[in-house]
Chains A and B, each alone.
Chain A
């Protein structure tokens, strides 16, 4: 079983739609969580950290459920510019970030 699992997609949604991604992690000792965004052939860029109480940044909302070991990302009012791969990232305390394989989002006009 992979340490961090994501649905690879692609998720094809129209502009203005709301879309949600989930991610599960296997290590219950994981301590911090992030969502990164990666455009084609570019480096990953931090989208947001994920806190136990849930957090929101504009159109983006992240949630963490430690009991079920999953993380979610909700994007409201999707824009064409949101098209990218979204990487779920977990820090287990072993100095490294563990990445999921990513979920590809394609927002269509």
Chain B
């Protein structure tokens, strides 16, 4: 069974730039969720994708957008990067359903200079 994989592991960008983060879901999982984790905080929900459509969104501005592909892999795009976007970005995959636990990838650590 292949777990959740994310790329890249680390990234450094400057203010105003754009970034794309990638996630491959665990085999058999059809739902992907993205989270932002700032230092010392718990992960904050950005959005979720199911069957290639956004299936729920947290309190993040529109410059955070995403995609899911037919193989259930996913991308997170962030435009007009701000200093506060520096964080660990986590992708989690699961089966659909409220009682299904989510399994996380190692995350991408994004630093904005």
Contacts and interface: CB of A to CB of B under 8 A. Distances in A.
Interface of A: 4, 31-32, 34, 41-46, 49, 87, 91, 93-102
A45 B98 contact: no
Interface stretch (B13-21, B62-70, B102-110): B102-110
A34 B48 contact: no
Contact of B99 (A32, A44, A99): A32
Contacts, number: 53
B41 interface: yes
Contacts of B56: 94-96
Nearest to A87: B42
Task: Classify chain B's interface size.
Answer: 20 to 34
B104 A45 contact: yes
A95 to B, nearest CB: 3
B28 interface: no
Interface string B33-52: 10100001111110010000
Nearest to B48: A95
A96 B45 contact: yes
Nearest to A100: B42
A100 B88 CA distance: 16
Given A32-B98, A96-B56, 17 more contacts: A4-B42, A32-B99, A34-B101, A41-B88, A42-B106, A49-B99, A87-B42, A91-B98, A95-B33, A95-B48, A96-B45, A97-B45, A97-B92, A98-B45, A99-B44, A101-B42, A102-B42
